[in-house]
Structure 1
């Protein structure tokens, strides 16, 4: 565990959240934050054999916190979370453009679904929709995990799966496919945050500092820059995707 002023964070989120924490929140709290891209299963992992579980790096205190992890029902059993850094994302079923196989998300009986590993969009999340989706509790033979989210697109092309199930945070993949369902809201309880061990008191200084930053002029300037970027490169998106209360 780092000392009272030095903290190591694993980072995998977009540049806005990184900038928010690195330049603003840690500075406002008077903390020295070291950011590392630990990769792999440092924070969280999901496998066909063992399902979803906490990553070895966070359990062993290799990092103090993992940036950009949403509080899911499963994760909350193992770890704690700070206040959200970005708004809550949405989860959908995705298919090839035009839905050539006529996938019906309301009936998953006999369907194979692709999931990206290490994400909260897992079979447990899907199963919580059994009241409105037939066959929502998938058999193991219907579940296929992909280490690289982009592999879901190839799997759909090969008809290895009938649909992918993932968050709109994976925007490059989502933009190449077609949304085939209503938004699924049972995967997370809030937006991406810092995921921490339950014995780690980071929230005591992080949350007040975050609230200070969200009220700052600099934060509004960051969000304005994001709007300008989206208007130029990602038509149809806005800073509402990554900015809180802007």
Structure 2
């Protein structure tokens, strides 16, 4: 870790000054909603790109009579879904989820990703795990050669968080507590988030497994070999990238 972050493996278009990042996010979100069919249990992701997916699902329910049940990955998404009239269930009320659409902060060549910029990484991973088809929606800036430009979120219990912070500091992970309004950010599950500034993560799977064994860590933002499809929006349109990886930790 600490090496220079590698170049993107995804061929980006050159965005002119008039191109709007929000338009790219909207394109990806609307495209992802095409994978939602009548009778499905749908996982609704969290974040700026997943927002447009949820909006499109709500539109289809209202205008097309789409019939689904949804589970959400954050209190923010739950509020959005209720506003749109999307029927909701608790994750505990379903055995599996047909399709989940969520955003990602980075995606590498092996379809590993960093998630949790919106602070919902634990709930996102809980919903992703029983999902049959797991889709990420991103704009092309999120496609990287290796993970590491984006800080890695680690959700930790409040008790002993300072001690855990110092352990990360001594390990050279350059930790910082996430804050909101000058206070430590508290997740929906009442935990803190420590963001690690690692530089290049040469082996995300190995590092994720290492974090899994740290006492006090509830979950981390490495989503390794979990995604089935990545919908990427760029100025030249939308591309669909399919992973051949099986789901793993």
TM-score by length of 2: 0.28
Indicate the structure with greater strand content: 2
Instruction: Point out which structure has higher relative CO (alpha carbons under 8 A, 6+ apart).
Output: 1
Q: TM-score, normalised by structure 1?
A: 0.28
